[in-house]
Structure 1
Amino acid sequence: MSESIIQGKEPIYQRGIFTFSGSHLLNDLVTTGMVPALVVFYKNAFHLNYTQSTLVVLISYLTSSISQPLFGVFADRKPRAWLLSLGLFCSIMGLALTAIAPSFLWLLLFIAISGLGSGAFHPEASRATHLASGTNKSLAQAIFQVGGNSGQALGPLVVSLYIIHSGIHGLLWLIPVAILSLGLTGQILPWLNHKLESAKLDSKKQLKGNNNYVGATLLSSVIILRSWCQIGVVVFLPFYLHDLSIQQAEILSFVFVGAGALGTFFGGVFADRLGMKRLLVGSMLIATPFALVFPYVDGVWSVLVLLVFGFSVLSSFSVSVVFMQRMLPKNIGLASGLAIGFGVGAGGIGSVFMGKISDIFGVTTVFTILSILPLVGALIAVFLPNDRKEKKQVA
């Protein structure tokens, strides 16, 4: 059948999965992709210090991270498919309007609109992916998350190849992109509305089991540490590699997050074989030595280290979403909001904290802190429930 790409008890709905993945790419391109990369431009345009500069990232991530679990709770009670379209539109339009922000406060307001749009988009998009995944949850989430991670990777590249030449006003070209996004998501809404109605009548569409709040808390901690590491590298790389041009530094950011997008896909593919807990622990442990050695290498070696570092530390991205949904089977929207929103959005809080450290101790100290975060995350992940054992019991 053309509607599926995987054969099984219930195949993946191809059109839906790639629509959600494509819309995820657009959303994360402008939020988690471009916003951190634009910090250096906002800093120069509004004459900000490091703390004020990272406040832009904080507002973006806080509005997204705080709102996502809330939108997720509301979605669990009454799903609202139209938030998929409206959320994506606002996330893109909000960033576009920063091009004409008359002051720093207006800049933060437009960034907040973009963040709230992202917060509304993610729970509905993740739920829709869950409904379209059939019996291939990990693979479907991997495809969905690769879209988001690809957007994060392309964000710094767009900034380095376009915004660096056009200036901040070049962001106005995102307005037609926001309008086109309505068409991308609007065409799938009839199917999604039908699927949501069917899911209410078919209890088999819901994951079974009781919520594991301790496991969800531990997993959220791992996701937060991973997010601090990811956002810290993207935000502070241009400042750390001060001997490189902004364009060169942004390209290195693309290498890091781009490798992470590749790792996200392969992590989802191999999750069913290795187990989600093993993948989480293993990926963070593998990332640790490369995180530790990065501050001491340069040239080609820095590119190679960033490749492996990004690939390994972000390979658990899609897996953590599925794992969180298994931790909170009675609240799929909340689980998605925590895994994609609150946990990832906490990276904004970490960026401001690290910005303050940079103002006091210098950027080098920040990279020293970033280098130990994967190891701490791996140690916490060891205490997560054994998903392979649970899977055997269910079977």
Structure 2
Amino acid sequence: MEPVSQTLMKGEEPLYRRGIFTFSGAHFLNDLVTTGMVPALVVLYKHALDLNYTQSTLIVLMSYLTSSVSQPLFGLFADRKPKVWLFSAGLFCSIIGLALTAIAPSLPWLLLFISISGLGSGAFHPEASRATHLASGTKKGLAQAIFQVGGNSGQAFGPLIISIFIIHSGIHSLIWLIPVAFLSLILTGQILPWLGGKLKATKVNTKKVGKGTNNYLGASLLSCVIILRSWCQIGVVVFLPFYLHNLSVQQSEILSFVFVGAGALGTFVGGILSDKVGMKRLLVSSMLLATPFALIFPYVHGVLSVLDLLLFGFCVLSSFSVSVVYMQRMLPENIGLASGLSIGFGVGAGGIGSVFMGGISDIFGVATVFTILSLLPLAGSLISVFLPSDRLDKKLPV
């Protein structure tokens, strides 16, 4: 599918605010229960089922692997035969899957329910990102920033909900997510008629205007940057409670909220700044700025550690929405695939990294993990230098 901006050479199409905020709200709910609550629940699942570190991180692996593997596949399917109802069905499954973990009697059952949630998220993201693309008019950066802030806010509030509610009421209280799953059908269902009509209109425009050329090398490099950023983000959220063992689970989850919450703010600010400074420059600088805060975290304590986490999260996640728009511009012929790679495969790879880190923790200790995590933003910044310029049409299709 062609980016809408290519069809608007003679004027600007306004932002469809109702649609954008609906998609952002749905993104909040999806990422609240998947990337937000699942990593934060690992420490509780560990104690409830008497798991070791490697088994515990299998939970995150299953969640992110089912989502990351399925998202590009759902994206390819959506590029060929878009199905707007997957937007609603995917969100419903992502919530209901986590709700069922409340009654999981063993690790295999837990992994099954987590997989249902992951597959739901995999179906949701490509259609939701495509919908945001269609509702954005000519304001791609702003629209994607609002959409991604919804997701990142969900990731931030996930640990907070765990700390103020689930820890006190127990794993079984997750069953109360079932009503939320049915309420999500109301939220998403009301926008489907508009989405279906907009999709048909876009197909007509696509036949009249060329799509542009896919840049597969650039997309591959960008995927590497997203994977490194995801390993860093998920690694901090998963291992922070184990690293700060002198704090209560509730206190460590609040620190996770600080980290991801600052990232949500960074996502919005980064989306706005990218229109002024360029996407490549923002990617390079944000990852580079995150490096010193990552390096000093093991050596600060008290208020300084909170401030450091805040700045760390703000910097490392400020490129989140930018990387999605960047990927869509590199793959203008496959918007669904671009969304699946940037939001799904890249971000979901954090689950694979968490299992690798879990094995390191069992052998060398959690402190070693944080040493590795501190170097990932620097590696991402160096790779970003080799990305094609988003300011030169000859290098990157627009």
TM-superposed deviation, 1:390 = 2.5
Q: Which shows bigger deviation, 204-213 or 43-52? A: 204-213
Structure 2 counterpart of 1:239, which letter?
A: F
Runs of 4+ in 1 over 4 A off after TM superposition: 204-207, 391-395
1:215 pairs with 2:247: no
Measured after TM superposition, the shift of residue 103 of structure 1 is 1.2
Match of 1:328 among 324, 328, 331: 331
- Which of residues 155, 160, 164 is equivalent to 1:157? 160
Residue 15 of structure 2 contacts residue 136 of structure 2 at CA under 8 Å; is this kept in 1? yes
Asked whether the equivalents of residues 285 and 381 of structure 2 are also in contact (C-alpha less than 8 Å), the reply is yes
How high is the TM-score relative to the length of structure 2? 0.96
Task: Determine the structure 2 residue equivalent to 1:385.
Answer: 388
Residues 186, 293 of structure 1: alpha-carbon distance in 2 compared, 3 angstrom cutoff: same
Rounded to whole Å, the distance in 1 between the matches of 2:140 and 2:60 is 31
Instruction: Please state whether the residue corresponding to 2:15 is helix, strand or coil.
Output: coil
Identity in percent: 80
Provide the rounded CA distance (Å) in 2 between the counterparts of 1:98 and 1:19: 27
Contact 1:13 1:133 in 2 (8 A): yes
Q: Which runs of 5+ in 2 are unaligned?
A: 1-10
Aligned positions of 1:287-298 closer than 5 A: 287-298=290-301
Q: For each residue in 1:54-78, what CA deviation from the matched residue of structure 2 results, as whole angstroms up to 9, or x when unmatched?
A: 0000000000000000000000001
Structure 1 gap segments, 5+ residues each:
1-7
Inter-partner Cα distance in structure 2 for 1:393 and 1:53? 41
CA-atom RMSD in angstroms: 1.4
Partner Cα separation in structure 1 for residue 382 and residue 182 of structure 2: 45
Corresponding residue for residue 235 of structure 2: 232
Partner residue of 1:4? none
Question: Does the Cα contact within 8 Å between 1:199 and 1:205 map onto a contact in 2?
Answer: no
**Aligned partners of 2:262 and 2:311 also within 8 Å:** yes
1:392 deviates by: 10
State the partner residue of 1:56. 59
- Structural mapping, 1:1-395, within 5 Å: 9-203=12-206, 208-390=211-393
* 1:140-182 Cα distance to aligned partner (Å, 9 max, x none): 0000000000000000000000000010011011000000000
SS in 2 for 1:389: coil
1 CA distance for matches of 2:243 and 2:195?
45
- 1:80 counterpart SS class: coil
**Which deviates more, 196-205 or 256-265?**
196-205
Following the alignment from structure 1 to structure 2, what is the Cα–Cα distance between the partners of residues 204 and 11? 22
CA distance in 2, matches of 1:67, 1:216: 18
**Conservation of the 8 A alpha-carbon contact between 1:131 and 1:205:** no
- 1:204 to partner: Cα distance: 8.1
DSSP-derived class of the 1:388 partner: coil
